[in-house]
Amino acid sequence: MISVGTSLESSRKCVTHAQKYINVYATVGVHPNDTAVTDFSDMEELKQLAKSSQRVVAIGETGLDYYRDRAAPEVQKKWLEQHLALALELNLPVILHARKSEHDLLDLVYPFIQAGGSAVWHCFTAGKKLLPEVGEKALSMGLMLGIGGVITFEDQQALREFLPLIPDKHLLLETDSPFLNPRPRVSDRNDPLQTVRIAEEVARLRGVTLEDIARVTTRNACAFFRMYDETEEKGKIAYAIRNSLYIALTNDCTNNCEFCARNQSYVVKGHDIKLDHEPSAAEVLAAMGDVSKYDEVVFCGFGEPTMRLEVLKTVAAQMKQQGQTVRLNTNGLSNLYYQRDIVPELVGLVDVVSVSLNTADPAQYRQMCRPRFGEAAYEGMCEFIRACVAAGLKTVCTAVEMPEIDLAAARRKTAELGAEFRARSYVDAG
Ligand code: SF4
């Protein structure tokens, strides 16, 4: 739990609680609505409080509130600037509040971010027309967006529509206790226990499971506020997303796509899948554990699974013996890699082959995917797709929804190859 200071007095209490309880962290700050009744000289005590304990993880709640009108905007701005300066000085993130002040807030926070600061827009929302614009601007600045009970409110359709567009790495959950009780209300007062209800709604709207959202937002919160996360695991070989169990066999790849998500981070839906070694079949099977609860097993990861063909075949054979559905996500360049047709070796072991076609234009493919096989790559991939179709494997070609990709042409090319087509969202891997 993070106990958020909103005045000098409450900041003192937050720090006391954080030092007393192992699962409580603190922030210190003066809420914009309190700025008219607080003296600027109190900033010095806030600074000393922030420095007094390593369990102080952020500066704030600070920001601008033109809705309540309890302090003049110029006074609020001055306080916000002081908070931002303190956060930079102490190298702490900032918790921001905005009401009817979205553009002013972003304008003031911009130089702070440029100077290396980090911030969360707490209980993110805005007016219906304004929300997509300020949301995109906040994301482009690198802000985290905190989602609270407001996501369950009937009049927040704009927020519900924007929510799936927030990349995983920018997403946090919060309660704003004792305010903003999720709907339907189960008590008069909001409390941290209600986070799970917010998480359930966020999971539903983003089309993932509660476990996925819990994992993603716990990792984000621990990284953003620099708190220790005892649940964090690195180098996962097997990782669950929705009802699928994904397998990472390698970080090596015959492509070097310019859009590959691993160029930014090896974290997928809260799983760190940067392998410290290439696992054996026995290690993979041990990492998978009981697979009976999953709908499918998917060979994927940040790398090309077919580069570990023998391990892939051994694990897939075990899965088929257990009656599992097996999917292979591939760049389709394995026949070029092995200089032979490997498709017959997949028959009976793999149910679905998903090939990243990416584009109908070979020149664009070469430019975007930077294959190690150069000009031969695109036609080699098409040959692989034709071979999969001819072998009776369910074959799906995918392309990422990006402005520079002609999805209609990719769809036509897929039909020509005899496969099914699926457009993938660019927002997040996994
Ligand atoms: S084929 Fe996949 S894993 Fe390989 S570089 Fe491209 S996006 Fe990344």
For residue 27, give the CATH number of its domain.
Answer: 3.20.20.140
In the reported structure, the alpha carbon of residue 116 is separated from the centroid of ligand 1 by a whole-number distance in angstroms of 30
Residues 283 and 409 in one domain: yes
Q: How far is CA 78 from CA 36, 73, 85, 121, in A?
A: 11, 9, 11, 18
Residues 6+ apart with CB under 8 A from 426: 259, 400, 401, 402
Name residues of the chain where pLDDT drops below 70. Answer: 426-430
In the reported structure, the alpha carbon of residue 275 is separated from the centroid of ligand 1 by a whole-number distance in angstroms of 15
pLDDT at 427: 63
Atom of ligand 1 nearest to the CA of 256: 5
Which of 257, 274, 330 gets mutated to test ligand 1 (max ligand atoms within 8 A of its CB)?
257
Residues with CB under 6 A from ligand 1: 253, 255-257, 260, 262, 302-304, 331, 356, 369
Residues 271 and 414 in one domain: yes
Residues 211 and 341 in one domain: no
pLDDT at 425: 81
In the reported structure, the alpha carbon of residue 369 is separated from the centroid of ligand 1 by a whole-number distance in angstroms of 8
pLDDT one-digit tens code per residue, 244-301: 999 999 999 999 999 999 999 999 999 999 999 999 999 999 999 999 999 999 999 9
- Please indicate, yes or no, if residue 429 is contained in any of the structural domains: no
Buried/exposed 11-28: b ≥16 CB within 10 Å, e otherwise = bbebbeebeeeeebbbbb
Of 189, 224, 259, the position where a domain reaches its end is 224
pLDDT at 45: 96
Radius of gyration of the chain (CA): 25
Residues 33 and 169 in one domain: yes
**Taking every pair of C-alpha atoms in the chain, what is the biggest distance, in angstroms?**
77
Domain encompassing residue 354: 238-424
For atom 8 of ligand 1, which residue has the closest CA?
A: 260
Residues 217 and 116 in one domain: yes
Atom of ligand 1 nearest to the CA of 356: 1
Residues 157 and 88 in one domain: yes
pLDDT at 99: 96
In the reported structure, the alpha carbon of residue 144 is separated from the centroid of ligand 1 by a whole-number distance in angstroms of 27
- Please indicate, yes or no, if residue 287 is contained in any of the structural domains: yes
For atom 7 of ligand 1, which residue has the closest CA?
A: 260
Residues 209 and 258 in one domain: no
Residues 400 and 327 in one domain: yes
d(CA 226, CA 287): 28
Please give the structure tokens belonging to residue 173.
């959950």
In the reported structure, the alpha carbon of residue 171 is separated from the centroid of ligand 1 by a whole-number distance in angstroms of 24
d(CA 385, CA 414): 9
In the reported structure, the alpha carbon of residue 375 is separated from the centroid of ligand 1 by a whole-number distance in angstroms of 17
Which of 250, 262, 264, 298 gets mutated to test ligand 1 (max ligand atoms within 8 A of its CB)?
262
- Please indicate, yes or no, if residue 303 is contained in any of the structural domains: yes
Q: What percent of the chain has pLDDT over 70?
A: 99
pLDDT at 141: 98
pLDDT at 429: 58
Q: For residues 294 and 322, is the Cβ–Cβ distance under 8 A?
A: no
* Secondary structure (3-state) at 196: helix
Of 224, 246, 277, the position where a domain reaches its end is 224
Residues 284 and 142 in one domain: no
For atom 6 of ligand 1, which residue has the closest CA?
A: 257
* Domain CATH code at residue 290: 3.20.20.70
Of 165, 192, 224, the position where a domain reaches its end is 224
- Please indicate, yes or no, if residue 371 is contained in any of the structural domains: yes
- Please indicate, yes or no, if residue 230 is contained in any of the structural domains: no
In the reported structure, the alpha carbon of residue 160 is separated from the centroid of ligand 1 by a whole-number distance in angstroms of 31
In the reported structure, the alpha carbon of residue 137 is separated from the centroid of ligand 1 by a whole-number distance in angstroms of 29
Residues 260 and 153 in one domain: no
- Please indicate, yes or no, if residue 232 is contained in any of the structural domains: no
Strand partners, 400: 424
pLDDT at 430: 62
Q: For residues 331 and 366, is the Cβ–Cβ distance under 8 A?
A: no
Residues 163 and 291 in one domain: no
Residues 43 and 170 in one domain: yes
pLDDT at 232: 78
pLDDT at 216: 97
pLDDT at 428: 67
How many domains would you assign to the chain?
2
Which of 369, 370, 384, 424 gets mutated to test ligand 1 (max ligand atoms within 8 A of its CB)?
369
- Please indicate, yes or no, if residue 293 is contained in any of the structural domains: yes
- Please indicate, yes or no, if residue 80 is contained in any of the structural domains: yes
